[in-house]
């Protein structure tokens, strides 16, 4: 199992399936199909209720079609490198079209049931657009922020009302639509609180009036039908983040990925979440996120022991143990895990063989031209300022010819650019979960920091600190 698949499983992005005692008349069939433009794989995966329903292979036109024999109303998911949720009801026949280069922006639906999904997609894009300006919103006073976000919610509700007036909708869909609006807004409120909690370390905290928190009474901490709907899941997570911080605010700054924060948060998950499936998903995602950024073996061992006490699922335990073992091997002082790389000439070389000086390994992908151009410009900047280091690019794709042409065309330093010989093996060994993540290693191949953001402010300080040792 690859790291990407493992993290997808941890997210648990699925809902309910038909009960065995329901009749076909109650739980009828539905169809899902479509076309994938610029496919990255030759298949899609259809899932529901934490279970994979089927793997459906694309035909020569990069199209697929799948029948769900007994479909209860709710969310279903298809995965083609990225996850996408669909709302389906008995009798629906939804056809989608998506271009993987601009996944969210290009996604459209046709067929019976398409109007509901086009509406939810547009609502998602509206929320994503709002996220771009949130940094400015968080600088507002509580009353002005509240008035602003209330105005946003009113616009969303008007958008829904317009849709209802021209479309026949079920109660199940209305529940989902209102959840998409409400929990997106609630999440923004929680993020506003988080932003102001962070200000406390600079003595800039804002006094939040009690009236601000009234929305919290509407947050359901055990909703069965929403438990895997991303706006809901994310909102509950942010809410628990802020409650966890209140338990240690006198001793540490707000940090979602710290040992202290995670320790308090999973206690709250265990105490407050009333739905077992939701509880396990939140525990899994929270602890996995901690392990992906942890660097102290003693704390990681304590966290794994606590996780085992809170989640008895054998599958979850197996996956978390595997993740923890991988992260502990990346602790500072350990040797970089030995993985095979491929250079531009298609020659295989061990990662240890290319470490000659203190080095920074950075990851990038062909799938984002904006990112790989930006990261290579950043590397050029750092290399000029810190010539004592080698900066080594590790491409995370499996398209050798395309990578080879791009490296040549972009005039990257070919001696510092490699692909993984076996990405699945390297993905788990090096925990390649983000292309923004970089690794700092010594001239002897020992890990100095296995999880540093090359665009962050801390990387230059770390580079200087090691040189001054």
Q: How many CB atoms lie within 10 A of CB 374?
A: 14
Collect contacts of 248-257 with beta carbons under 8 A, ≥24 apart: 249/197, 249/200, 253/198, 253/200, 253/201, 254/194, 254/197, 254/198, 254/200, 254/201, 256/289, 257/289, 257/290, 257/292, 257/293
Contacts (Cβ under 8 Å, ≥6 apart) of 330: 295, 337, 430, 431, 439, 447, 450, 451
What does the block give as tokens for 257? Answer: 């990925």
pLDDT, tens only, 395-442: 988 888 989 988 888 877 656 999 999 888 888 888 876 666 799 999
* pLDDT at residue 361 tops 80: yes
Residue intervals in the chain for CATH 3.40.30.10: 340-467
Tokens of 45: 């995966």
What three-state secondary structure class fits 437?
A: strand
- What is the β-pairing status of strands 51-57 and 43-48? antiparallel
Phi, psi of 105 (to 5 degrees): -70, -25
pLDDT at 66: 93
CB 236 within 8 A of CB 229: no
With tokens 């009036």, the residue in question is: 209
Q: pLDDT, tens digit, for every residue of 140-168?
A: 999 999 999 999 999 999 999 999 999 99
How many Cα neighbours within 13 Å face the side chain of 126? Answer: 17
Give every CB contact of residue 240 below 8 A, 6+ residues apart in sequence: 265, 268, 269, 272, 282
Distance CA 11, CA 227 (A): 11
Sign of the Cα torsion 294, 300, 303, 307 reads: positive
Tell me how far apart the alpha carbons of residues 142 and 312 are, in angstroms, rounded to a whole number: 42
Q: Output the pLDDT for position 463.
A: 92
Q: pLDDT per residue over 64-118, tens digit each? A: 999 998 888 888 988 887 888 889 999 999 999 999 877 877 888 999 999 999 9
pLDDT of residue 21: 41
| pLDDT single digits (tens) 110-131 | 999 999 999 998 898 888 777 7
CATH of 1-112, one of 3.30.310, 1.20.120, 1.10.260, 2.60.40: 2.60.40
- pLDDT > 70: percent of the chain: 91
- The reported pTM is 0.82
- Residue with more model confidence, 458 or 186: 186
**Residue 328 pLDDT more than 60?**
yes
Q: For the chain, where do the domains classified as CATH 2.60.40 start and end?
A: 1-112
The number of beta carbons lying within 10 Å of the beta carbon of residue 18 is 21
Q: Does domain 340-467 have CATH number 3.40.30.10?
A: yes
């Amino acid at each position: 199992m690859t790291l990407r698949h493992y993290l997808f499983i941890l997210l648990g992005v699925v809902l309910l399936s038909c009960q065995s005692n329901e009749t076909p008349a109650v739980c009828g069939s539905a169809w899902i199909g479509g076309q994938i433009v610029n496919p990255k794989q030759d298949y899609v995966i259809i899932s529901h209720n934490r279970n994979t329903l089927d793997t459906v292979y694309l035909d020569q036109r990069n199209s697929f079609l799948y029948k769900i024999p007994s479909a209860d109303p709710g969310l279903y998911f298809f995965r083609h490198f990225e996850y996408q949720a669909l709302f389906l009801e008995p009798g629906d026949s939804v056809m989608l079209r998506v271009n993987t280069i601009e996944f969210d922006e290009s996604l459209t639906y046709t067929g019976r049931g398409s109007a509901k999904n086009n509406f939810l997609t547009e609502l998602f894009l509206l929320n994503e657009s709002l996220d771009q300006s949130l940094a400015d919103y968080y600088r507002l006073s509580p009353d002005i922020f509240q008035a602003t976000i209330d105005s946003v919610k009113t616009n969303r509700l008007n958008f829904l009302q317009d849709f209802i007036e021209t479309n026949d909708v079920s109660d199940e869909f209305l529940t989902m639509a209102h959840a998409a609006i409400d929990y997106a807004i609630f999440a923004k409120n929680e993020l506003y609180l988080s932003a102001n909690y962070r200000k406390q370390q600079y003595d800039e905290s804002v006094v939040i009036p009690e009236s601000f928190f009234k929305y919290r009474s509407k947050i359901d901490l055990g909703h069965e039908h929403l438990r895997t709907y991303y706006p809901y899941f994310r909102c509950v997570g942010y809410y628990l983040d802020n409650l966890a911080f209140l338990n240690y605010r006198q001793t540490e700054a707000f940090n979602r990925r710290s040992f202290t924060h995670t320790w308090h948060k999973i206690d709250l998950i265990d105490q407050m979440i009333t739905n077992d499936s939701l509880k396990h998903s939140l525990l899994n995602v929270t602890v996995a996120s901690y392990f992906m950024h942890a660097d102290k073996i003693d704390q990681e061992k304590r966290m794994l022991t606590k996780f085992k006490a809170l989640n008895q699922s054998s599958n979850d335990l197996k996956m978390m143990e595997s993740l923890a073992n991988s992260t502990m091997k990346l602790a500072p002082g350990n040797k970089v895990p030995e993985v095979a790389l491929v250079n531009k000439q298609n020659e295989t070389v061990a990662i240890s063989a290319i470490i000659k000086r203190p080095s920074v390994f950075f990851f990038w992908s062909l799938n984002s031209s904006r990112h790989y151009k930006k990261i290579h410009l950043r590397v050029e900047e750092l290399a000029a300022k810190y010539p004592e280091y080698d900066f080594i690019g590790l491409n995370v794709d499996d398209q050798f010819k395309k990578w080879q042409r791009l490296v040549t065309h972009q005039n990257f330093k070919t001696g510092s650019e490699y692909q993984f010989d076996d990405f699945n093996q390297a993905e788990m060994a090096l925990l390649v979960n983000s292309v923004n993540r970089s690794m700092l290693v010594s001239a002897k191949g020992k890990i100095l920091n296995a999880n540093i953001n090359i665009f962050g402010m801390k990387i230059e300080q770390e580079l200087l600190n090691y040189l001054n040792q």
